[in-house]
Amino acid sequence: MGGRWTWRLAALPGVAWLSIFFLVALYAVVSVAFGNQDTLSQPVPFWNPLDWNVGYVLEALRNIWHGGPFLTAFLRTFEFVAIAMALSLAIGYPVAYYAARHAGRWKGLVLLLLIVPFWINYLMRMLAWINLLSPDGWGTRVLHDIGIERVFITLGLLSTRGGWLDGQQSTVLIALVYGYIPFLILPLFVALDRIDQRHLEAARDLGATPLSAFLRVTLPLSVPGILAGLVLVALPMFGDYYTPDLVCAAPKCNMIGNQIDQLTRQGSEKVTGAVLTIMLALLLLALMFYYLRTTRRAGTASAST
Amino acid sequence: MGHPKDRSELTRRQLLRGAAGAAVGIGAGGLLSGCENTTTPVGASGGGPAGKAGQLVVEKPLGPGGLPLPRPDNAVTWAITDSNQPISEGRPTERGPLKVYNYADYVDPAMVKKFQQEFHTSVQIATYNSADEAIAKLAAGAVAFDVIIGLTGSNIVNLIAQRLLQPLNHAYLPNLAQNIWPQLQDPFYDRGSRYTVPYVVWNDGIGWRNDVIKTDIAAMDVPWEIFWHSKPYRGRVGVLDDKRDALSMPMQRVAMHKGIAPDLNTEDRGLIDSAERELSQLNGICNVKVTITDYQTLPEGKTVLHHSWSGDLLSGAFYYMPKGVKPDVLSYWGPPSNGVVQNDFLCIGRASKSPVLAHRFLNFLLDEKNAYSNFVDFVGYTPPQKAIDAPALVKRGLIPKSLSDAVVRPDQFAANQELLQLSVEGERLWDDAWSRFKAG
């Protein structure tokens, strides 16, 4: 009994912290979204749910329904995030697989190298890329020399040689993948590392080729890791606005995060900014629940075996 | 409309305001009535000033507490109340420290040092990133600032309504009458400079790299036309990331073609929407970027043509030229009339603990020599000093001839328009158009 109370007390600071800095802040955003604005276009939050005004929410929904700029931004965000997720998985899976299975005594070093980018602030890394990708930058030269630039131009993903910063969507995608891929690799590495080798040995004993052993044992067992990784990269990507800002800045790279940034900081429409924030949060919440459900199911499944 | 220094935390020395994004599409709010618990958003109910084309000045909306929003045709004299009197004459100067609230990198540290030595005091500077942030923090009253730098005529109603400023005693400010352009000694937003004194002025123009673009843009009949002929520079062309500044640019272009004066504070939906359509053409023509980092990208050659604030070209020339590139590769043109000009001001916080020292600081910054050094050694934005003019600066080799237009002249200031706060409904029309442009 006493032990239980000790733990409850120990959890108190964390709970208080979350309540103040997360729940109260979130409630403030909700109150602004369901509030109104004064004659100087400043938001007037309605704190009492009984007073809530749904006018701004309906207007945002109507904008989306009628194919307005919010829909354009939401669709573009989905497109960018989907492509970036697919690319991250295609690049990240082999890396995680190698680190978990074949790195041997270099495993620690490989892991360290994967974590190193975290030591540098995301923004700093993006600012570095601006210099690397400028027409005479090292990155541009390397991409040219190893032929990637030509591939991009052939595929119509880049309009001119060395034009990575000329407002290209492909540059935003590359930057998103680069920026968030460690979030995918690390959980995937853990999932792959945890797979019991004996399952694979059993598969091989029963006559499976390496490929079918991978497809029928390793891949299914790593699904929770894949999902965890994908959710972890998708969450920040959905809210990102500074990556398109820094490496593109053209309207065709505009994501929903940019809309919110614009509305809350520059525009006179802070209430609508709050509405979009809530919409995005609900979307991410759904994604999070899906993730929790799948991991819990996977957890019970592995516990029952 | 936005202050050039309104920037978020994204860039290196100065800060980049998060570009891209958009505002809201607001339809006819009338549709919403009828739903229970649905309040029609302010200003969304049809009617209003829309449709009054050609009107030179918008209707005058009221600010908080029913105070008027100042307009050139509706200049405002702010009352001095019994409970908030200016300090009396002849008081001794306090020892400080002087607490200053300012944008980052918006006053020359050498000037601050000089002031400290002259008045045997210390100056503590706190910074803000946007006017909204500044006013919110001033209103919260956590810190009693003595001097606030960088707010504009659009903020003054808020400052007065929330009683954040103390009136000035001009006996401590002889440099105001002596050095400052007469028109800014008595601005429409604060007749008689009762609460504020001007700091710097700027205009909206075109910055370009004359080593890449051989067209003499300044000599064109309609210089703004260059943006619609910028296909050769695709990907290296930018417009200001500010709804009012950016959308007023195509408005100026059309008016220049027709030889008429535009109303850059219009609330006419037709004019605003057609400006948006014209601006959106630039997406196809040059894949236009929407940024306020031109002070850096033009010197570095990452952009070669940019819709710019005058001061950014000069600070670019002062600080951001890469090794081996001379500042005379930068050119600037600002419209002689019917374009955009803005100014900001210095003021004293109501709760100032060193009001005499604060007056001394204001007067110090209005001093001809100090204003001059602050301008050419650091800020790059023109102080409205009678004695400062571009030819003299060019002659002394301080700025290249190609940038002489970036020094705003008093006649130019008078013949251009300020972007002013609109009614809520008007703001929404601009936001709506901006949103469509930014969504691409």
SS3 B346: strand
Confidence of residue B134 (pLDDT cuts 50, 70, 90): confident
Q: What is the pLDDT of residue B204?
A: 94
Of A55, A245, A250, the CB nearest to B41: A55
Predicted confidence (pLDDT) at residue A51 exceeds the cutoff of 90: no
- Within 8 A of B439 by CB-CB distance, chain A residues are 69-70, 72-73, 251, 254, 259
Task: Please state the pTM of the whole predicted model.
Answer: 0.82
Fold of B98-201+342-400: D-Maltodextrin-Binding Protein; domain 2 (3.40.190)
Terminal Cα distance for chain B, rounded? 22
| Range from A24-28, A110-114, B10-14, B207-211 carrying the lowest mean pLDDT | B10-14
SS3 B199: strand
Q: What is the pLDDT of residue B17?
A: 29
A37 DSSP β-pair partners: A43
Put simply, the answer to whether B25 touches A70 (Cβ < 8 Å) is: yes
Give kind and range of the element (H or E) at residue B175.
Answer: helix B174-179
Q: What is the pLDDT of residues B251-306, one digit of tens each?
A: 999 999 999 999 998 989 999 999 999 999 999 999 999 988 899 999 998 999 99
User: Does any CB of chain A come closer than 8 Å to the CB of residue B421?
Assistant: yes
- Within 8 A of A134 by CB-CB distance, chain B residues are 300, 302
Q: What is the pLDDT of residue A135?
A: 83
Name the nearest CA neighbour of A172 among A284, A71, A262, A249: A249
Confidence of residue B104 (pLDDT cuts 50, 70, 90): confident
**Which candidate in B135, B265, B435 is best for mutational testing of the A interface (most A CBs within 10 A)?**
B435
Put simply, the answer to whether B16 touches A245 (Cβ < 8 Å) is: yes
Q: Where are the domains of chain A?
A: 77-260+276-304
Residue B308 C-alpha, separation from nearest chain A C-alpha, in angstroms: 16
Confidence of residue B1 (pLDDT cuts 50, 70, 90): low
User: Does any CB of chain B come closer than 8 Å to the CB of residue A70?
Assistant: yes
Confidence of residue B63 (pLDDT cuts 50, 70, 90): low
Name the nearest CA neighbour of A213 among A97, A103, A299: A97
Residue B225 C-alpha, separation from nearest chain A C-alpha, in angstroms: 20
Q: What does chain A look like in DSSP terms, one character per residue?
A: -HHHHHHHHHHHHHHHHHIIIIIIHHHHHHHHHTSEE-TTS-EE---SGGG---HHHHHHHHHHHTT-HHHHHHHHHHHHHHHHHHHHHHHHHHHHHIIIII-GGGHHHHHHHHHGGGGS-HHHHHHHHHHHTSTTSHHHHHHHHTTHHHHHHHTTS-SSTT-TTTT-HHHHHHHHHHHHHHHHHHHHHHHHHHS-HHHHHHHHHTT--HHHHIIIIIHHHHHHHHHHHHHHHHHHHHH--HHHHHHT-SGGG--HHHHHHIIIIISS-HHHHHHHHHHHHHHHHHHHHHHHHHHHHHHHHHHH-
User: Does any CB of chain A come closer than 8 Å to the CB of residue B439?
Assistant: yes
Of B12, B64, B291, the CB nearest to A127: B12
- Give residue B242's Cα distance to chain centre: 11
> What amino acid occupies position A217?
V
| CA–CA dist A66, A211 (Å, integer) | 49
Q: What is the pLDDT of residue B7?
A: 59
Predicted confidence (pLDDT) at residue B409 exceeds the cutoff of 50: yes
Q: What is the pLDDT of residue B44?
A: 38
- Within 8 A of A251 by CB-CB distance, chain B residues are 20, 280, 283, 288, 290, 437-440
Q: What is the pLDDT of residue B4?
A: 76
Residue B408 C-alpha, separation from nearest chain A C-alpha, in angstroms: 26
User: Does any CB of chain A come closer than 8 Å to the CB of residue B387?
Assistant: no
Q: What is the pLDDT of residue A42?
A: 76
Predicted confidence (pLDDT) at residue B423 exceeds the cutoff of 80: no
Predicted confidence (pLDDT) at residue B132 exceeds the cutoff of 90: no
User: With helix as H, strand as E and coil as C, how does B358-405 read?
Assistant: HHHHHHHHHCHHHHHHHHHHHHCCECCECCCCHHHHHHCCCCCHHHHH
Predicted confidence (pLDDT) at residue B14 exceeds the cutoff of 60: no
Q: What is the pLDDT of residue B432?
A: 87
| Range from A114-123, A236-245, B352-361 carrying the lowest mean pLDDT | A114-123
Predicted confidence (pLDDT) at residue B431 exceeds the cutoff of 70: yes
Q: What is the pLDDT of residues B357-397, one digit of tens each?
A: 999 999 999 999 999 999 988 888 999 999 888 888 888 88
Domain A77-260+276-304: assigned CATH number: 1.10.3720.10
Put simply, the answer to whether A37 touches B19 (Cβ < 8 Å) is: no
- Name, of A57-71, B19-33, B211-225, the range with top average pLDDT: B211-225
Q: What is the pLDDT of residue B15?
A: 30
Name the nearest CA neighbour of B304 among B276, B278, B325: B325
Name the CATH code of domain B204-340+417-439 (choices 3.40.50.300, 3.40.190.10, 3.30.160.40, 1.20.1250.20).
3.40.190.10
- Within 8 A of B285 by CB-CB distance, chain A residues are none
Of all residues in chain A, the percent with pLDDT exceeding 70 is 95
List, as ranges, residues 245-274 from A with C-beta within 8 Å of B. 245-246, 248-255, 257-263, 265-269, 271-272
SS3 B300: helix
Question: If you compute the radius of gyration of chain A from its CA atoms, what whole number of angstroms results?
Answer: 23
- Count CB neighbours of B360 within 10 A: 22
| CA–CA dist B19, B7 (Å, integer) | 10
Q: Which residue has the higher pLDDT, B361 or A38?
A: B361
Determine the average pLDDT of the residues in A124-152: 88
On average, the pLDDT of chain B sits at: 83
Give kind and range of the element (H or E) at residue B309.
Answer: strand B305-309
Predicted confidence (pLDDT) at residue A201 exceeds the cutoff of 90: no
**ipTM tops the 0.90 cut:** no
Q: Which residue has the higher pLDDT, B69 or A304?
A: B69
User: Does any CB of chain B come closer than 8 Å to the CB of residue A163?
Assistant: yes
Q: What is the pLDDT of residue B46?
A: 35
Of A52, A76, A272, the CB nearest to B24: A272
Confidence of residue B232 (pLDDT cuts 50, 70, 90): very high
| CA–CA dist A209, A203 (Å, integer) | 8
Q: Where are the domains of chain B?
A: 98-201+342-400, 204-340+417-439
Closest B-chain CA to A263: B23
Q: What is the pLDDT of residue B146?
A: 94
User: Does any CB of chain B come closer than 8 Å to the CB of residue A98?
Assistant: no
Q: What is the pLDDT of residue A18?
A: 87
